[in-house]
């Protein structure tokens, strides 16, 4: 069996940068956001590497990377990402801010996926990050799956194995530091990846040259996708306070620990 793997991922500011929230034009944003160096979202990067690995093991498979972000910044990031794994880019020119509404984001991405020429939905695996360094609500990927009519959804995935009979074995994180193993008869399915089991691939200039033949045209025809955030308001945005208060306690019930944490988080 071959797969059509669609990876959803956007760019985020480099984690080593200091991020300062500001309010501009009535909406929150990051100070000097367009000047900050950007990278592919780390969780989405894991999903892309896993997709490329799976496609490499299953002849006839293909990988698309669907990304919503400012076109100029996407071009900068793709110069590096294109050397990591083979894929075809589907670009949307819009905001990549962490303040964007996940519902609107999901609608735009689902529409873009629906317009991919040659995509076979019966063989489709929708990959993405379980979380995000930008849109960390954890709902975007699920909403895309629902809009595409995909009910089989797995979040916190660490491993995907294709069985000899074609079934998919999925190792998925659950509560309590444990894992759950699920068997899926066949696609389509949504997989939100955690860290996976693969390291970051080395840069391969040959792969980059092949990818850039489609990346640049995709960026040139990227559809303008403004996210209006209708009905979404923020009372304030600020950096988290840097406070460290350590207390060592033995044999304290989990419920009491939870109550103390909630009280600490909600103070002030």
Residue 114 has pLDDT above 70, yes or no: yes
Residues 88, 143, 103, 265: is their CA dihedral positive or negative? Answer: negative
Residue 226 has pLDDT above 90, yes or no: no
Q: Can you give the pLDDT at residue 132? A: 77
Domain that holds residue 175: 4-224
Mean pLDDT of the chain: 85
Q: CATH number for the domain including 129?
A: 3.40.50.620
7, 141 Cβ separation under 8 angstroms: no
73-112 pLDDT, tens per residue?
Answer: 888 888 889 998 999 999 999 887 777 778 888 899 999 9
Q: Is 232 a domain residue?
A: no
Q: Is 237 a domain residue?
A: no
Calculate mean pLDDT across residues 205-228: 87
For residue 123, name the pLDDT band (cuts at 50, 70, 90): very high
Q: Can you give the pLDDT at residue 199? A: 82
Q: Can you give the pLDDT at residue 192? A: 92
Count of beta carbons in the 10 Å neighbourhood of residue 147: 16
Q: What is the dihedral of CA 185, 121, 215, 49, to 10 degrees?
A: -10
Tell me the sheet residues that pair with 101.
none
Q: Can you give the pLDDT at residue 10? A: 86
Q: Is 261 a domain residue?
A: no
Q: Can you give the pLDDT at residue 240? A: 65
Residues 122, 8, 196, 204: is their CA dihedral positive or negative? Answer: positive
- Pairwise CA distance, residues 73 & 10, whole Å: 10
Q: Is 265 a domain residue?
A: no
Q: Can you give the pLDDT at residue 27? A: 66
Q: Is 86 a domain residue?
A: yes
Instruction: State pTM to two decimals.
Output: 0.80
- Pairwise CA distance, residues 77 & 64, whole Å: 16
Provide the number of structural domains found in the chain.
1
32-39's contacts with Cβ under 8 Å and 24+ in sequence apart are 33/97, 34/70, 34/72, 34/73, 37/13, 38/11, 38/12, 38/13, 38/14, 38/73, 38/76, 38/77, 38/96, 39/11, 39/12, 39/13, 39/14, 39/15, 39/77, 39/80
Q: Can you give the pLDDT at residue 87? A: 93
145-180 pLDDT, tens per residue?
Answer: 999 999 999 989 999 999 999 899 999 998 888 889
Q: Is 58 a domain residue?
A: yes
For residue 238, name the pLDDT band (cuts at 50, 70, 90): low
Q: Is 32 a domain residue?
A: yes
Q: Can you give the pLDDT at residue 136? A: 59
22-71 pLDDT, tens per residue?
Answer: 776 666 667 667 777 788 888 899 999 999 999 999 999 999 999 988 88
- The secondary structure element, H or E, covering residue 50 is helix 42-57
Q: Can you give the pLDDT at residue 52? A: 93
Q: Can you give the pLDDT at residue 13? A: 78
Calculate mean pLDDT across residues 207-233: 82
Q: Is 231 a domain residue?
A: no
Calculate mean pLDDT across residues 231-254: 73
Alpha-carbon separation of residue 151 from 102, 109, 187 (angstroms): 19, 17, 10
Residue showing tokens 């780390």: 42
- Pairwise CA distance, residues 175 & 114, whole Å: 33
């Amino acid at each position: 069996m071959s797969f059509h793997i669609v990876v959803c991922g956007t760019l985020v500011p480099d984690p080593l940068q200091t991020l300062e929230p500001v309010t501009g034009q009535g909406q929150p944003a990051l100070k000097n956001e367009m000047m900050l160096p950007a990278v592919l979202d780390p969780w989405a990067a894991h999903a892309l590497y896993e997709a490329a690995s799976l496609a490499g093991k299953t002849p006839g498979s293909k990988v698309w990377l669907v990304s919503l972000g400012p076109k100029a910044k996407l071009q900068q990031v793709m110069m590096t990402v294109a050397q990591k794994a083979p894929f075809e880019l589907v670009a949307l020119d819009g905001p990549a801010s962490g303040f964007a509404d996940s519902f609107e984001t999901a609608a735009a991405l689902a529409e873009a996926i629906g317009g991919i020429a040659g995509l076979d939905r019966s063989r489709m695996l929708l990959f993405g990050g379980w979380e995000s360094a930008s849109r960390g609500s954890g709902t975007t990927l699920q909403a895309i799956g629902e809009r595409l009519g995909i009910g089989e959804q797995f979040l916190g995935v660490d491993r995907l194995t294709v069985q000899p009979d074609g079934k998919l074995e999925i190792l998925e994180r659950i509560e309590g530091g444990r894992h759950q193993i699920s068997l899926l008869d066949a696609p389509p399915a949504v997989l939100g990846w955690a860290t996976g089991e693969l390291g970051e691939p080395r840069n391969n200039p040959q792969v980059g040259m092949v990818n850039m033949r489609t990346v640049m045209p995709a960026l040139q025809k990227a559809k303008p996708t403004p996210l209006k955030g209708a009905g979404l308001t923020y009372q304030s945005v600020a950096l988290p306070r840097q406070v460290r208060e350590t207390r060592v306690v033995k044999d304290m019930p989990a419920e009491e620990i939870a109550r103390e944490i909630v009280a600490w988080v909600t103070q002030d």
